[in-house]
A and B are shown apart, each in its own frame.
Chain A
Amino acid sequence: MGVVSFLSEGDWERLIRSLIGQGILKSPRVIRAMRLVPRSLFLPDDQRPYAAIDMPLPIGEGQTVSAPQG
C-alpha cells in the first residue's frame, strides 16, 4: 500500500476546480462524474502518484489513459 499513501483526494479535487476555472469542465453532470470516478482507481500502481496531473499516463502495451481534460 506504499504507493497509495502518496494519493491525496485533495489533489484530484484541486485539478477538477482548475479545469472548471479554465472552462474545460462545464456541465454539472460531467463535473459530478469526474468527482465520483477518480482516475487513480484505473492506473497501474506505478502511475498512481501522478493521477491528478493533467496529462495522459502510460497504462502498458504502449497505450495511455486520457488526460483529465480529454
Chain B
Amino acid sequence: MNEALELEVGHKVLEVGAGSGWHASTIAEIVAPSDVSKDRWGHVFTLEIIPKLAEFARRNVEQAGYSDRVTVICCDGSEGYPKEAPYDRILVTAAAPDIPAPLKEQLKPGGVMVIPVGDVGFYQTLIRLRKTEDNRIVEEDLGGVAFVPLVGKYGHRIKWRYY
C-alpha cells in the first residue's frame, strides 16, 4: 500500500485503522524520515475505533521511536478526522462497503487515497482515488485484496463489539 500511496517527504497522512501501529510507523519513516531535518517532516494521524488496540498501537509507536511523527487517535475512523484535514494522502486499512464521503471531503486537491472496497468475508478491490486540482474524483482499480471489515458510521453494518 505504501507504494500505491506515492508518499513524499512532508506529506500529512490520515490512516483509518491503526491496528498495531506498524503501518503508520513505516509511513512516518517515509514522510518524516529520520535522516531529514525536522522542519521538513510530515505527520501521520492514525485512527483506531477499538480502545484496546489504540492503546496497543500508541505503546508500540512510542517504543519504536515514532511518537513525534505518528498520532494515534481513538475514534470512529469511517468519519475521518476533520480536525487536522485536509490530508495529502489517506489510506484505509479495512474494507469499506463504499468510499466514505467524509474521507473524500478531507482529501486535498491533488491528493491520493487508497482504500479496499467490497463485501465482508470476500476479497475486495483495492481502489486508488485521486482528487484533481479542480476537485474531480478519478478512481483506479489496483486489484484484489483481503482486509478486515471497516466498521463505524460509514462502515459495514455488522454486529461488532469493541471490548
Question: Contacting chain A: which of B23-31, B76-84, B104-112, B127-135?
Answer: B23-31
Q: Does A21 contact B (CB under 8 A)?
A: no
Interface size class of B (residues with CB under 8 A): 20 to 34
Secondary structure at the B interface, as helix, strand, loop or mixed, is loop
* Bound CA span A44–B53, Å: 11
CB-based nearest A residue for B23: A66
Contact assessment for B53 and A61 in the assembled complex, using a CB-CB cutoff below 8 Å: yes
Residues of B within 8 A of A61 (CB): 50, 52-53, 162-163
Alpha-carbon gap, A63 to B33, bound state (A): 28
On whether the beta carbons of B7 and A42 are closer than 8 Å, the reply is no
Is B67 engaged at the interface, CB distance under 8 Å to the other chain? no
Option from A33, A44, A59 in Cβ contact (under 8 Å) with B26: A33
Q: Taking the complex as formed, is B21 at the interface, i.e. its CB lies under 8 A from any CB of chain A?
A: yes
B20 A37 Cβ-Cβ under 8 A: no
Does A2 reach chain B (CB closer than 8 Å)? no
- A42 CA / B148 CA spacing, docked (Å): 18
Chain A residues with CB under 8 A of B30: 29-30, 32-33
Beyond A27-B3, A41-B63, whether A65 also contacts B34 by CB under 8 A is no
